[in-house]
Amino acid sequence: MTAAAAVAVETAAPAVISRPTLTVDLAAVAANTRTLAAHAPASALMAVVKADGFGHGAAAVARTALAAGATRLGVTSVDEALALRAAGIDAPILSWLNPVDADFAAAVAVGIDLAVPSREHLDAVAAAANAGTARVHLHLDTGLARDGAPPAEWSQLCRAARLAEQRGLLRVDGVMGHLACADVPADPSNASGRTRFAWGVEVARATGLRPVHRHLAATAATLTDPRTHHTLVRVGAGLFGIDPSGTVRLRPAQTLTAPVVSVRRVRAGTPVGYGHTWTAPAATHLGLLPLGYADGLPRSASGPDGRAEVLVRGRRRRVVGLISMDQAVVDLGDDAVPPGEVATVFGPGDDGEPTAADWAAWAGTIEHEIVTGIGRRVARRTAPARATLRSVR
């Protein structure tokens, strides 16, 4: 199947948006993939599609990114990797965060590469070798004190991996690290992370390992620091229009819309929502949206100091009162819009609608948390890679 055909299969685009809907713009994902690849021309590109493709749909994003220049996929858990295989995707996939009792045999059986951060993981993966020779990427902690082997354990991990290699149980295909502060290129921890990674690769080689994939950079370092590119870059956020370094213009790929369910006229002094945190200062029209914090609208963006807005009929409208679990109220002023009018909660910003970055700022968080947090009862709709978002609205 061609890439274009594969994308077309994902497309189901009813013309009328009559319920809360998250539209994913695969053309944006494709364009972002090309932009990221152009920033690391000498390296291969791994598209990170963990957390259901950062909330955009893992399989559709994976196919789109692979058609636009990515050659590998990255996910967190074995389960995420198996789901991609089950969806018919046969590109190389690396899974990097699993408990020691994860189903490594199932992963190895369908050719999923596994990151190994500890001796315990190495032993567990080696034990899965009856399913085939496991391909592993040794993971060194390069400065987050989170995942990856501590430097003090690295030499031993490399030696144990080399022994397992010689026994034919696995092959060390890669060495990986991750940077804590790549969004701030001048942060000194980037230099120490790069140095520690180079040391880790040296130790692996001195042990007799020959890792062909050496990867340290995620989106921010891919866009700002060629010294981190090595043979492969792992990009997630950038595929979805998020540049943590704030240096490159990428295109957001999600648009969240919801119909106005009802509109009421209220008098000055009418309190709104739980706790009455807002009271209409003048007579106005209030529109009700069937979206709340269970759907991913952060409650912290509303309330007495809330700044959240949505776009209705070409104009920004304030969210008033507290966002509740299933609903939010917007102040429509003098506009008695008819029920059914579509509100754009966020999108790329082309028509003046807020962006996910705006919502993140209103909620005191990062865009990643907004785009990955849209709830399951919001309908999903995929705009094909060749259409623009405008043409499907």
Say whether 50 is catalytic: yes
User: Which window, 80-88, 236-244, 261-269, 301-309, contacts ligand PLP (CB under 6 A)?
Assistant: 236-244
Q: In whole angstroms, give the CA distance from residue 156 to residue 269.
A: 70
Binding of ligand PLP by 238 (CB under 6 A) = yes
Are 177 and 213 within 8 A, CB to CB?
Answer: no
Question: Going by C-beta distance under 8 Å and a sequence separation of 6 or more, which residues neighbour residue 327?
Answer: 261, 288, 289, 290, 291, 292
Which residue number is nearest to ligand PLP in terms of Cβ?
A: 236
Q: Between residues 245 and 270, which has the closer beta carbon with respect to ligand PLP? A: 245
Q: Which helix (H) or strand (E) holds 255?
A: strand 254-259
- 146 annotated binding-site participant: yes
Q: Between residues 171 and 368, which has the closer beta carbon with respect to ligand PLP? A: 368
Least Å distance, CB 173 to ligand PLP, is 16
Could you count the other beta carbons within 10 Å of the beta carbon of residue 33?
24
Q: Between residues 142 and 327, which has the closer beta carbon with respect to ligand PLP? A: 142
Q: In whole angstroms, give the CA distance from residue 212 to residue 196.
A: 18
3-class secondary-structure state, position 183: coil
Q: In whole angstroms, give the CA distance from residue 255 to residue 273.
A: 26
Question: What does the chain come to in residues?
Answer: 393
Looking at residues 177 to 216 of the shown chain, list those that interact with ligand PLP (rule: CB under 6 A).
Answer: 178
Least Å distance, CB 235 to ligand PLP, is 5
Looking at residues 82 to 101 of the shown chain, list those that interact with ligand PLP (rule: CB under 6 A).
Answer: 96
Binding of ligand PLP by 171 (CB under 6 A) = no
Instruction: Tell me how many residues contact ligand PLP (CB under 6 A).
Output: 12
Q: In the structure encoding, which two tokens stand for residue 93, read together?
A: 């996939």
Looking at residues 31 to 50 of the shown chain, list those that interact with ligand PLP (rule: CB under 6 A).
Answer: 48, 50
Q: In the structure encoding, which two tokens stand for residue 38, read together?
A: 């152009």
Please list the residues that pair with 21 across neighbouring strands.
257, 379
- Among 106, 110, 150, smallest CA distance to 127 is for 106
Task: Give the active site residue among 90, 133, 202, 274.
Answer: 274
Q: In whole angstroms, give the CA distance from residue 202 to residue 196.
A: 10
User: Which window, 120-128, 196-204, 235-243, 347-355, contacts ligand PLP (CB under 6 A)?
Assistant: 235-243
Binding of ligand PLP by 58 (CB under 6 A) = no
User: Which window, 153-161, 233-241, 264-272, 297-305, contacts ligand PLP (CB under 6 A)?
Assistant: 233-241
Are 243 and 50 within 8 A, CB to CB?
Answer: no
Question: Going by C-beta distance under 8 Å and a sequence separation of 6 or more, which residues neighbour residue 67?
Answer: 3, 4, 6, 7, 30, 385
Are 363 and 306 within 8 A, CB to CB?
Answer: no
Q: In whole angstroms, give the CA distance from residue 79 to residue 43.
A: 27
Least Å distance, CB 234 to ligand PLP, is 4
Say whether 286 is catalytic: no
Binding of ligand PLP by 234 (CB under 6 A) = yes
Options 174, 193, 211, 236; binder of ligand PLP; rule CB under 6 A: 236
Least Å distance, CB 48 to ligand PLP, is 4
- 210 annotated binding-site participant: no
Least Å distance, CB 147 to ligand PLP, is 7
Binding of ligand PLP by 116 (CB under 6 A) = no
Q: In the structure encoding, which two tokens stand for residue 330, read together?
A: 């917007």
Q: In whole angstroms, give the CA distance from residue 326 to residue 286.
A: 16
Least Å distance, CB 162 to ligand PLP, is 23
Options 84, 149, 237, 310; binder of ligand PLP; rule CB under 6 A: 237
Task: Give the active site residue among 7, 29, 39, 50.
Answer: 50
Q: Between residues 200 and 321, which has the closer beta carbon with respect to ligand PLP? A: 200
Are 322 and 277 within 8 A, CB to CB?
Answer: yes
Binding of ligand PLP by 235 (CB under 6 A) = yes
Q: What is the DSSP letter of 263?
A: E
339: amino acid identity, one letter: P
Pairing of β 309-312 and β 315-320:
antiparallel
User: Which window, 158-166, 232-240, 260-268, 320-328, contacts ligand PLP (CB under 6 A)?
Assistant: 232-240
Question: Residues forming the annotated binding site?
Answer: 146, 325
**Active site residue ranges:** 50, 274
**Residue ranges binding ligand PLP (CB under 6 A):** 48, 50, 96, 178, 218-219, 234-238, 244
Q: What residues are designated binding site for substrate?
A: 146, 325
